[in-house]
Amino acid sequence: MNKNYLFLAILMIILAGGLLILPERTNYTQINPEDLLWDIIQPSRYVTTDQVAKMLIEQDPTLELIDVRCAKEYNKFALPNAINIPLDSILSPNYSDYLGIEDMNAVFYCNDDILADQAWVIAKRMNISRIYIMKGGLNCWIKTIIQPTPPPETASGDEFDQYDFRKGASMYFTGASISAPKSDSKSQVTIKRKKKTTATAGGC
């Protein structure tokens, strides 16, 4: 047998054996810097607390809430059905299955925007699409959904509608049926709104 063939056969076995002992590949596929910058300046990467509340109430199956705070804070309080992926382990293979699920809208949140924003950028660089940040985080959630403040009397009808929704959502999430007597103030609101509509109708 030709010696060259023997040499080539051994080389091939060494190369193939080398594949087996190679360490796990760590170079992630990254998004283009231009695309990343373009996506970062899009306001559409934020969702409001109202949108999240609406999706939760409607039990939207495409919503995937991701809490990027540490496990301790997550155990203390978290949004319903949220999963905990602490920011420092977002690249860990344990959690890679939770990101980039087809047809799922992943919404990152933390106490404010900062951690969620970092998580968003990391996930975006990994070329994961359909990821969002809950604007204002849990602080905004408490302020707007759990303890909504009534708008001023001069506010538009939309704002009153939003307030009504938030009060309903607050009851939904806190289970506070005690707030039923507050419905008086709710009816006052509707009266005010009626006034406004007639006023505009007259103007026409």
Partner 1 sequence: MGPLIPQGIITGQWDFVIALLIGTAFGFILESSGFSSSRNIAGVFYGYNFVVLRVFFTAMIVAMVGLLYFNYLGWIEMDMVFVLPTYLAPMILGGFIMGLGFVIGGFCPGTSYTACAIGKLDGFAFLGGFIIGVFIFAEAFPLFENFYYSGYMGNITIGEVFNISNELVTFIFVIVAIVAFYVTWLIEKKVRKNRTESKFE
Closest approach of Cβ 25 to partner 1, in Å? 5
Closest approach of Cβ 61 to partner 1, in Å? 24
- Token pair of 174 as six digits: 């806190």
Closest approach of Cβ 52 to partner 1, in Å? 32
Distances (CA, A) of 19 to 11, 16, 57, 79: 13, 5, 50, 44
Closest approach of Cβ 22 to partner 1, in Å? 6
Out of 22, 178, 199, 201, the only residue in the binding site for partner 1 (CB under 8 A) is: 22
Nearer to partner 1, 12 or 83 (CB): 12
Q: Biggest alpha carbon distance in the chain? A: 104
Q: Interface with partner 1 includes 204 (CB under 8 A)?
A: no
Which strand ranges, in their side-by-side order, compose the sheet holding 105-109? 46-47, 131-134, 105-109, 63-67, 83-84
Q: Interface with partner 1 includes 13 (CB under 8 A)?
A: yes
- How far, in Å, CA of 119 to CA of 107, rounded? 10
Residue found by looking up tokens 């506070």 in the block = 176
Q: Interface with partner 1 includes 83 (CB under 8 A)?
A: no
- Contact window for partner 1 (CB under 8 A) among 20-28, 107-115, 140-148, 191-199: 20-28
The span from the first CA to the last CA of the chain, in angstroms, equals 101
Binding site for partner 1 (CB under 8 A): 1, 5, 9, 12-13, 15-17, 19-20, 22, 25, 27, 29
